[in-house]
Every structure is written in structure tokens, then in C-alpha cells.
Amino acid sequence: MAGVNRTAYRTCPLCEAACGLELTVADDVVTGVRGDRDHVFSHGFLCPKGATFGRLSDDPDRLRRPMIRRGGRHEEVSWPEAFAAVEAGLRPIIEGYGQQAVAAYLGNPNVHTMAGGLYVTPLLKALGTRNIFSASTVDQMPKHVSCGYLYGNPLAIPVPDLDRTDYLLMLGANPWESNGSLATAADFPGRLRAIQARGGRFVVVDPRRTRTAEHADEHLFIRPGTDAYLLFGIVHTLFAEELIDLGRLTPYINGVEELRGLAAAFGPERVTAVCDVPADRIRGLARELAAAPTAAVYGRIGTCTVEFGTLTSWLVDVVNVLTGNLDRPGGVMFPLAAHLRPNAQPGGRGFTTGRWHSRVRGLPEVKGELPVATLADEIETPGEGQVRAFLTVAGNPVLSTPNSDRLARALDGLDFMVSVDPYLNETTRHADVILPPLDALRKGHYDFSFLALAVRNFAAYSPPVLPPGPDGMDECDILARLILIISGQGAEADPALVHERLLEQALSRAGAAGLRDTVSGDGPAERLLDVALRTGAYGDRFGAVPDGLSLDRLLAAPHGIDLGPLQSRIPEVLRTPSGLVELAAPPLIAEVTRLRDALDRPRPGLVLIGRRHLRSNNSWMHNVPALVKGRDRCTLQIHPADAAGLALTDGAPAAVTSRAGSLSATVEVTDRVMPGVVSLPHGWGHDLPGVRLSVAAAHPGVNSNVLTDELVIDPLSGNAVLNGIPVEIKPA
């Protein structure tokens, strides 16, 4: 496969935007990266992270062989030795203490790999533990829960129809830096500019004047964590001024009258005191949303990682419903990805949480997992069911979850830990065994998660650009071997057993049992993808639909295949028992009472929020020199008035203290943050011993999650509260 100065096309897996890359490859090295101008979705767009794509593969700190910790140090070993150590470490704990004694944590990069989309669920099934944790509960779980109650399916998330909308209201989202989230939109900034170019508007609501806010037609500051009040103020106005118009969806919406009653307590004059958005602008937003030919409300991380995250996520969709903008072009719509099928008919079992509860704090299960905010409790607290072994896959919870110092101490107390990860980082340094998968250039790619969130339907598959190399192991093989070890079949069992079983199951589920010989694909993930594509919404049905999709058709289309603008999917997409959109599900109604009671809470003093930077991606891209060069970005932003009141000076250190912990950060005085709010980016703090991230260690920054509090969560989703943390600050 290697050659001299050849060109390869590849979907960028580094964020949710799913851009097409054009790579220049000389022998086994990527010597150039450009945006793929012929890509059907990204049309040549490229951000600074994507431009460094090759550097992640040739990073000298990247692990290429497994590691075992001996005498407090990690040393390279062979793959058989590593899997034997996993078997020796895990099996006695499972046999001695049961399956619940093993916990698993799945990091965000799992949604950017085919192995994560196809092999993690079978791995968790084999583990049989209820102690499953993931980055979802420090991120988007509130949106899953609100969509679960509204539409009966937590994965049915409507996205703003950016390319056709006339008016976009964005809350807690900064796509100019993040490139978008829960809305896959390559060149998100270009799509926002296009709204303005065609005479539309976009408005940003955020406690910080972000880069997105700078480009917006209007930016409104809001107190962190109070977006639910603003949105309820809009709902109140829509009812009060008789601006409700459900449009085509009128027969499919349940609960409008309950909503009217709930909104009565949240008049603009009442909520402005909490959220700081002027009452006349709250009314104005309601009128603008109702009057626009088409409009969309879009909320992201700042609306999820807060105490009322689920209510806020719900209210985003409520406003879209009440203004007639759900499921219509230019509003918010449900994508239909090529590997998925539409439902045969509306209606289903609906959505529920709490099928089990965490052992120590009694927190309800949500979407098959427990809040990561209680992971340390489960490890530290003795008794039946105590977590003694820990498996991580592509995760760094020591930097990304609340009260990190406590979690790091808890990991030291484990009997055994194994990590599937390419880096010896702040979390995997605690692991007894580290199993590094092949880098992105050496494996195929299809976005199972993000094609289901794309603002235009399209499909793309990228084959491996480079061969695996002598020591490399594909992540599907690693996870298959773990499944075999966990299920007692031994460290030496052939992973092909798992690959074939999963393929048989996929064929059987698709009603295609017996068609094994017609399946395409060089690897196990590719064969599973072929089945999903061929039986998916646009599939060839194994030859019955001649122009339908298959893996072979995607292989023949290196720039992707456009499947057209989003189409209306209600009622088919609804999986509620009623087959309707349920605006007033009982758990949400009960939570509104708590929101109403909190109207009278005293306002906290200074509160901490996070922030995003274009050249950063959570914790794991700080080892790329081009992405960390330049001035220190891990600063504590504070408003000039607050800085003056606290005698803080620009560039000097400040001591920041919360209930959970304290740290010292460099002050950046700026009116980008509103008074009463300070901001630190997350994913930093690369100065811990035993880590092999030499570039990151030279730009360590501080870990904002030392300050975030594991005891405060959004109760409906279990999501951690990472924005709006009360802090005290003084010169260090």
C-alpha cells in the first residue's frame, strides 16, 4: 500500500464535523493535508486540527506496543504477554467477586472509530456489569434524556437545518471553535455566514463573548446555568401573545396545555432577575422565532453541563415545536444515516431511566450507564459490589470528569486496571496493562455516530491509508480478545470467533441470514458496515435495489455520496408508546417544580465556566506541537471589574478554590466574560508523573476538573455540572 507521493482521501475523525481530507503520502508518512475540495459535504474545508492529522500517527510518544506496569514503571511487552496479564488480572476478580466488581469507562474518541461503534457494546455485554460509565455524563446525556422523553428514542436528536434556516438561536454553543456538536456540519462557520448572506440572522446566548458570538448578529450574555429560565420566558411569551403555531405537526403533539400551565410561573420579568437577559429581549426572541419564515433553536454543551441540563435541552425542542419548526425544512430535523433504517411504523416502548441504581449514591441508570460523577464512590466504598477492576477504552477521566484528584486517588486503590489507549496519559498511568490500537491512518473509517447527526444526509467510508505495521493490532481484534478473556475462553482464543459471531448476528437481525458469502469487506468492521449499509435506508438489499448503497459503492466514491437534504420524518421517527411527541412527560414536569423553586435561590458569587479552543480537543491533542504553540491558552479569564475588586492583575497567578479542590491559574483580564463569571478551558493539567506526553508536559496548563464538584449533577440525566461552579479567587 505504501508508495511515493500518492494521494489518499480520508474522513477526518478528530471532531464531529466529518470533513473530507486529501492526504499526500510519501512512503509511510503523511507529508501534506488539504481539505478535499470534491468532498460532497465539506467541500474543501479544513481546520487546524485536521491539518495536523498525520502528526498524531507519527507522534513519537504514541504507544505502538502494549505496556505492563512493573515496579511502578510501564514497560513494553509483546501482545501475548499483555493479554496473558489481562487474563491473570481480570479473571480472578470476576470469579471471586462477580461481574459488578469490574467497571468500564468509555471516552469520547469511541464515537470516532468503527471499533467503538461496533465492538464496545458486545464487550460491555460480555462484562455483564452495571458499572458502566462514559464521557456522555460529562457532555450530552441531558439531550439524550430529553429526546428520549419527547420522541421515545434517546438517539433521535433533531439538528438545526443550517443550510435552509432563516433564523438560528444558539445557546451554550461555540461552533466557531468546536466545529459543532450534536449537529455534524463541516464548515459550520461558513454555514452560519451563509444564513446572514441570504438575509437571515443568528443570535448567540452565552456567558462569554465567544468567537461565534463575535460573528453573530446579536450576542446576549446570560448567567451560567440559567438557560432554562430564558427558554421558559420565551415559552411563556409564545403562549401569552398567542404565537403558538404547531403547523403540520398539530395532530402529532401531546401536552401543549400542560405546558401552558407550567410556563405561567416563568414570565420574562420573573426570569430576567435570574438569567440577566433583559425581559424585553426575551419577548423579542419569542417574537422573532415565531415570525421568521423558518427558525431553529440549538443548544449545546453550555446547556447540558448544568444543574437543569435535561430541562434546558427539553425546552430547546419545546420552543422549536411551539413555533412550528420541528421536522420542517429550515427548522430542526431528524437525519437519516445510511447505516440505519426508518421505523416500520410510529410508536414503540418509549424511554425510561432507573432500570438499576448505583450502589453508593443510588443514582439512576440512564441509557445503560451510571453517572461518571459517582465512579470514585463505587471504587472507594467497601462492601458487596465494590469496584475492584477497571477497564477504560479511549478515555481520560482523570482530566475530564469532576473532582479529578479524588478519582486519581481512587484509581490507585484498584486491584487491576486495563486500558485500551494509544497514550500513557493521566489516566492510563494507573493501568496495569495498556493495549494501544492502530492509529487512524492504519484503519478504515465510517462515522456511525455523526452521520446520524449530519445537517445533510451523506455517506462516506475511508479505507486504511497505511498498512498496519509489524507490531500493530487493530482495535477490533483487541476488543474481541478482551471479550474472549472476559467470557472465559482464554487469552489465546482466536478473535475471528467473535468477528464471525457478530457478523452472523448482524445478518440475522437484518433478515439476511445465509448471505454471509455475499458480504464485502477486508476487515471485521468493514463486513459489519457492509451489512448495515445494504440493509439500511438507502441500501442495495443484497442486489434487490440495483442503485442502492453497499460498502463497494462507498469504496468507489472516495469523496462520499450525497443523499440529499434532510427530509421530514414525523411520525415515523417517533418511538413513544402513543406514537406522538410527548411535550409533558411526567419526569420533566416534576423537575419543573424544582426549577420554579430555584427561582428564589440566592445568587452565587463568582462562578466558573469552561471554554473551547479551535486547536484543542478535550484532553488528547495537546501532544501535537502545532496545536500547542504560541501563547498559553489555559488562562483564567475574568472581567475587569471583578479583577479590580479582587486585586488580580493580568498575567499574575490566582488561587482558585471550590468545594472540591483548588489550583493556581494565570489571570487573563478580559471583558469577553460577563461580570461574576470566570472561565478556564478543560482537558489540561499534563504535569503528572508517569505520563508519556512530552510536548503536552511542556505546556501543561491546569486541570479545571480539580474544581468541578462530583456531588452536583443534573438529576434526570446524571450529567455532571461543569458550568456554573461557585469559586473563590484571590491573588496567589
Dist. CA 312–CA 317, nearest whole Å:
9
Cell numbers of 527, please? 463486513
Among the listed residues 8, 9, 10, 12, the single contact to ligand SF4 using CB under 6 A: 12
Does 627 sit near ligand SF4 (CB under 6 A)?
Answer: no
CB atoms within 10 A of CB 344: 6
Kindly give the pairing relationship between strand 167-171 and strand 296-299: parallel
Smallest separation (angstroms) from ligand SF4 to the CB of 115: 19
Minimal distance, residue 560 CB to ligand SF4, in Å: 13
- The SS3 of residue 399 is helix
How many angstroms separate the CA atoms of 223 and 274, rounded?
7
Interacting stretch for ligand SF4, rule CB under 6 A, among 15-23, 131-139, 546-554, 688-696?
Answer: 15-23
Contact 476, 494 (CB under 8 A): no
**Of 17 and 669, CB closest to ligand SF4:** 17
Q: Exactly one of 10, 36, 41, 50 binds ligand SF4 (CB under 6 A); which one?
A: 50
Q: Which span sits near ligand SF4 by CB under 6 A: 41-49, 414-422, 518-526, 552-560? A: 41-49
Show the beta-strand stretches assigned E in 394-475.
416-420, 433-435, 456-459
- Is residue 179 close enough to count as binding ligand SF4 by CB under 6 A? yes
**Smallest distance, Å, CB 450 to ligand SF4?**
9
Q: What is the DSSP letter of 651?
A: T
DSSP of 243-300: ----GGGGGGEE-HHHHHHHHTT--HHHHHHHH---HHHHHHHHHHHHHSSS-EEEE-
Asked whether the beta carbons of 721 and 305 are under 8 A apart, the reply is yes
Q: How far is the CB of 46 from ligand SF4 (least distance, A)?
A: 5
* Nearer Cβ to ligand SF4 (156/454): 454
C-beta closer to ligand SF4: residue 17 or 103: 17
Say whether residue 109 binds ligand SF4 (CB under 6 A).
no
Q: Which of 39, 49, 191, 499 binds ligand SF4 (CB under 6 A)?
A: 49
Distance in angstroms (rounded) separating the CA atoms of residues 587 and 48: 42
Query: Is 192 among the residues that bind ligand SF4 (CB under 6 A)?
Result: no
Q: How far apart are CA 595 and CA 247, in angstroms?
A: 29
CB 16, min distance to ligand SF4, A: 7
- Specify the DSSP element, H or E, that contains 636: strand 635-638
Interface residue with ligand SF4, options 14, 170, 183, 503 (CB under 6 A): 14
> Does the protein bind ligand SF4 through residue 272 (CB under 6 A)?
no
Which one of 46, 56, 372, 621 is in contact with ligand SF4 (CB under 6 A)? 46
Taking the complex as a whole, the smallest distance from the CB of residue 14 to ligand SF4 amounts, in Å, to 4
**CB of residue 673 vs ligand SF4: minimum separation in angstroms?**
25
Look up residue 207 and give its amino acid. P
The span from the CA of 172 to the CA of 720, in Å, is 16
Size, binding site for ligand SF4 by CB under 6 A? 12
Of 23 and 147, nearer to ligand SF4 (C-beta) is 23
Residues counted in the chain: 732
Q: How far is the CB of 635 from ligand SF4 (least distance, A)?
A: 23
Q: Measure the CA–CA gap between 387 and 391, rounded to whole angstroms.
A: 11
Query: Contact between 15 and ligand SF4 (CB under 6 A)?
Result: yes
Query: Residue 211 or 388: which CB sits closer to ligand SF4?
Result: 211
* Cα separation, 104 vs 420, whole angstroms: 11
Task: Answer yes or no whether residue 17 interacts with ligand SF4 by CB under 6 A.
Answer: yes
User: Does 47 help bind ligand SF4 (rule: CB under 6 A)?
Assistant: yes
Is residue 19 involved in binding ligand SF4 (CB under 6 A)? yes
Please state the closest distance from residue 18 (CB atom) to ligand SF4, in A. Answer: 6
Q: From the CB of 47, what's the least distance to ligand SF4, in Å?
A: 3
- Rounded CA-CA distance 170/180 in Å is 11
- Choose the binding region for ligand SF4 from 10-18, 137-145, 259-267, 510-518 (rule: CB under 6 A): 10-18
Which of these ranges, 11-19, 100-108, 483-491, 544-552, lies near ligand SF4 under the rule CB under 6 A? 11-19
Q: CA-CA distance, 246 to 252, in Å (whole number)? A: 9
Query: Measured from the CB atom, is 46 or 549 closer to ligand SF4?
Result: 46
* Cα 90 versus chain centre, distance: 29
Taking the complex as a whole, the smallest distance from the CB of residue 617 to ligand SF4 amounts, in Å, to 7
434 binds ligand SF4 (CB under 6 A): no
Q: Which is nearer to ligand SF4, 49 or 406 (CB)?
A: 49
Q: How far apart are the first and last CA of the chain?
A: 56
The arrangement of strands across the sheet holding 29-35 comes to 3-11, 20-27, 29-35
Q: Which strand (E) or helix (H) includes residue 397? A: helix 397-400
* Measured CA distances, 465 to 12, 329, 479, 558, 605 (Å): 12, 37, 22, 12, 53
- Give me the residues that bind ligand SF4 (CB under 6 A), please: 12, 14-15, 17-19, 46-47, 49-50, 179, 186
